[in-house]
Amino acid sequence: MNSLKSIFRPIKPTNINISFKPDELISNSQKLMLELGLIRQSANGLYHILPFAQRSIDKLISIINKNMMEIGAQKITMPILIQSKLWKTTNRLSKNLEDLYILKDRKSKEFLLSPTHEEVVTNLFSSDPTTYRQLPLMLYQIGTKFRDEIRPKLGIIRSKEFLMKDLYSFDRDQESAIISYNKVCQAYEKIFDHIGVKYIKVDGSSGMMGGSQSHEFHYPAEVGDDTLFQCKNCGFGINKEISPELVKCPKCSSVDIKCTKAIEVGHTFLLGTFYSEAMCAKYSDLDGTLKPPYMGSYGLGVSRIIGASVECLSTQNIIQWPRSLSPFTVCIIPAKEGSIEENVSQNNLSGLYNNLIEIFGDDIIVDDRTHMTIGKRFIEAKKLGFPFVVVMGKKINENPSLYELYDSSSKKSDYYELNNLINFLKKQCLEQI
Amino acid sequence: MNSLKSIFRPIKPTNINISFKPDELISNSQKLMLELGLIRQSANGLYHILPFAQRSIDKLISIINKNMMEIGAQKITMPILIQSKLWKTTNRLSKNLEDLYILKDRKSKEFLLSPTHEEVVTNLFSSDPTTYRQLPLMLYQIGTKFRDEIRPKLGIIRSKEFLMKDLYSFDRDQESAIISYNKVCQAYEKIFDHIGVKYIKVDGSSGMMGGSQSHEFHYPAEVGDDTLFQCKNCGFGINKEISPELVKCPKCSSVDIKCTKAIEVGHTFLLGTFYSEAMCAKYSDLDGTLKPPYMGSYGLGVSRIIGASVECLSTQNIIQWPRSLSPFTVCIIPAKEGSIEENVSQNNLSGLYNNLIEIFGDDIIVDDRTHMTIGKRFIEAKKLGFPFVVVMGKKINENPSLYELYDSSSKKSDYYELNNLINFLKKQCLEQI
């Protein structure tokens, strides 16, 4: 049985060295995540992911892996340490120097901590005389990335060290590259649909990447760094970065444009041959000639998606998770020690738990801090944002026992007999899939 | 269908910048892993994990997570960047300076890339006024670690950047700490038993960790850096580091001692209160007094276990995986294009595949390079070390069709009708679990 009592959630100021208060701008949701012990600052812009948030991240990773497998993308791991000289080949080192963490090893060789892997993956590709038969090729990884932000902020939404999923595609020609590009965009849409937080896809800026086409995935949020223009008529959207003013929609000519603040959670780039030419990466085509592959680069901010989706859904005092990423789907609150419900609650608990296991697997937690009142635990369960809370309160002593079920999406409670409770939750679970 | 043709396995020298030949000592198994495109050097001592090896690592991670859940250990992620000042508290910075990657951020704050997280996790623990009720506590993570090895060698067995599983335990007193310590040791034994490569557990050196008790888990291998003494009579073992000569067993007094070269793949330390005292970490005991928790620290070299288990099992030309970590369990080789078996092979393939999916799930791959002869593909399938290879050769045209099944553990082939083949593999799969 997963026990809430044993979950590690440090919630008080530390007594040494590192101050608790982040010396950075923090949003409401991130303050909640800190206060409830889901994340913790280890230094300015650096965060520990604690057990609750880790479960959420692991769920997101599963969703990503599944969708990557479906489009035939292959998982790899490239080292975090990148030789500076690789970035000199593409002239990116000088442009982004301040945001990069750079170090020298014991032999004075210079490395940077990877913020992104275009050069490395292109070099890796070039290490094989690939033929057109092996293309298209999609390689991805899920790993730690680094950016020495001048002003890290918003907890895990904009930290200096973060978890990214990055993918790189290689194709024979532009036509095929566009097919791969659309395939990844569709997979990203499926991932965001599955997560369930409303997102906006807009034409993006290619920024430091170069390349010809780019889209961005955003979660709308007041605290976001990006500003999006969206046509209310046809839905076309574009980042303010690439269109500082938009009075008329370039697609449908409507002048009904709205402006939204947002957090970027995904980005796709059609790169063309910039990297493959700079790094002399080639494949041999049907006629035997060596040609540079057309590339694409695609990113999802894994830890950022967790932070940003909580940012979008939460209220002042209550965390709300997208159900797909909630650390646990159901929290059970048994009766208080010494209460008149204690006996029945104890007798019924394992039956209830075993029934729920069949629906939710490992995804149930018991708030076994039975020295606390039900009321106090219920308030905290709401704060922590479990999609469902099952309370074994006064009506557990009725015949048959009645269970209170709180649904965090409707914010309402209802009473159920055991069988009806199980059937209701089973239905909810099926809808989710 | 998983297709061998599409799996990315770069196997030829690169054409730019980074030389293919590792400028480091390499063992036979690592040479095979490089030549077969399972790993690739990105710089001296730094390696890409490519799709085959990545699958193996992901399988190991699942085994680890499952066993950690069983002992109630909680998964977290601590940042890779560690403030140097934390390591000054315990005086470890000066002692290990050369092996550490150290950098300064844009504000000239000094950080090290984590080789291990004792200081960080102790500081994290101290950030909460934990009570005795919340102990024992076990926190673990699976993440990238760094060591600036003066002589990296043996590919992913001793690289500068590697994947580790590290766990830290916190207890009320020494008695309870020993219980936690034994629990983790048992979980490690279960993990190594599950992997299935013969291992040796010995009394270890506490090295840079300090602390009172320590054990090491080793895979015996000629190329290993460690030397172990083992009593042939009672099985007691000890690392030469802590007992430079061993003529008589300290447990049973036997003089029948053997000496084995080995690769360290796991290490456990009973730390006591060294870190908690140095970092002022305290919990409040039953009587309200604040006391330093007794700690333990435990590590498994995740990427190293992959490299070392292949090192132990492989021969000169053939990789052998422990079946639990094989990238794919079954490889199917359909008939060659234009052969007289092609028609039947094509007709039978999806039936065979679907039958195998029910046993092995995603764990099957088809060598669809049907422009190559069966013989050539069979040789490569043996080299790649799939536990089972199903060949759709000449006898596929018999009535009923006969499938050749090659078993890499016995190195023998037998012919089966479809039903018998499925039943045989089903049995093998059950034995594995």
* Sheet arrangement for strand A102-104: A81-83, A110-113, A102-104
If asked whether residues B181 and B82 sit together in one domain, one would say yes
Tokens of A38: 């889901």
Residue B295: closest CA among B141, B135, B143: B135
Residue B323 belongs to a domain: no
Separation of alpha carbons B102 and A75, rounded Å: 29
Question: Which chain B residues have a beta carbon less than 8 Å from that of A280?
Answer: 15-16
B20:A127 CB<8 A: yes
Size of interface A-B (CB pairs under 8 A): 201
Question: Which chain B residues have a beta carbon less than 8 Å from that of A50?
Answer: 76
Write out chain B's pLDDT in tens, 433 residues: 899 999 999 876 543 333 445 667 889 899 999 989 999 999 999 999 999 999 999 999 999 999 999 999 999 999 999 999 999 999 998 887 889 999 999 999 999 999 999 999 999 998 776 889 889 999 999 999 999 999 898 999 999 999 999 999 999 999 999 999 999 999 999 999 999 999 999 988 765 555 678 999 999 999 999 999 999 999 889 999 888 888 899 889 999 999 999 999 999 999 999 999 999 999 999 999 999 999 999 999 999 999 999 999 999 899 999 999 999 999 999 999 999 999 999 999 999 999 999 999 999 999 999 999 999 999 999 999 999 999 999 999 999 999 999 999 999 999 999 999 999 999 988 876 5
Residue B18 belongs to a domain: no
Counting every residue written for chain A, the total comes to 433
From the list B8, B9, B85, the residue facing A17 with the nearest CB is B85
The CB-side HSE value for B304 (13 A sphere, CA atoms) comes to 29
Residue A5 belongs to a domain: no
If asked whether residues B139 and B73 sit together in one domain, one would say yes
Residue B59 belongs to a domain: yes
If asked whether residues A350 and A308 sit together in one domain, one would say no
Placement of tokens 């079954």 in the chain: B330
Residue A15: closest CA among B282, B91, B287, B275: B282
Residue B37 belongs to a domain: yes
B124:A47 CB<8 A: no
- Alpha helix ranges (H) inside A36-139: 51-70, 84-89, 118-126
Shortest distance between the Cα of A204 and any Cα of chain B, in A, equals: 28
**Alpha carbon separation from B243 to B204, B225, B227, B248, B250 (Å, rounded):** 10, 15, 10, 11, 11
If asked whether residues A265 and A307 sit together in one domain, one would say yes
Cβ neighbours around A252 below 10 Å, total = 12
B77:A279 CB<8 A: no
Question: Which chain A residues have a beta carbon less than 8 Å from that of B280?
Answer: 15-16
- Three-state DSSP at A21 gives coil
Domain termination residue (choose one: B283, B313, B343): B313
- Residue A407 sits in a domain of what CATH number? 3.40.50.800
Shortest distance between the Cα of B415 and any Cα of chain A, in A, equals: 33
Domain termination residue (choose one: A313, A340, A374): A313
From the list A80, A143, A148, the residue facing B106 with the nearest CB is A148
From the list A7, A50, A80, the residue facing B161 with the nearest CB is A80
The domain in which residue A227 lies consists of 28-313
Output the CA torsion B275→B276→B280→B284 (10° steps).
180
Q: Do A48 and A40 touch, CB atoms closer than 8 A?
A: yes
- Going by the DSSP 8-state scheme, the letter that residue B303 receives in this structure is H
Give the contacts of B288 (CB within 8 A, at least 6 positions apart): none
If asked whether residues B265 and B350 sit together in one domain, one would say no
Radius of gyration, CA atoms only, chain B? 25
Residue A334: closest CA among A364, A367, A360, A296: A367
- Alpha helix ranges (H) inside A161-301: 174-195, 274-278
Q: Please give the tally of structural domains in chain B.
A: 2
A75:B83 CB<8 A: no
Residue B17 belongs to a domain: no
Q: Do A275 and A122 touch, CB atoms closer than 8 A?
A: yes
If asked whether residues B394 and B309 sit together in one domain, one would say no
- Residue B285 sits in a domain of what CATH number? 3.30.930.10
Residue B6: closest CA among A282, A120, A136: A136
If asked whether residues B76 and B197 sit together in one domain, one would say yes
Question: Which chain B residues have a beta carbon less than 8 Å from that of A38?
Answer: none
Give the contacts of A408 (CB within 8 A, at least 6 positions apart): A320, A382, A385, A386, A387, A388, A389
Shortest distance between the Cα of B307 and any Cα of chain A, in A, equals: 15
Residue B13 belongs to a domain: no
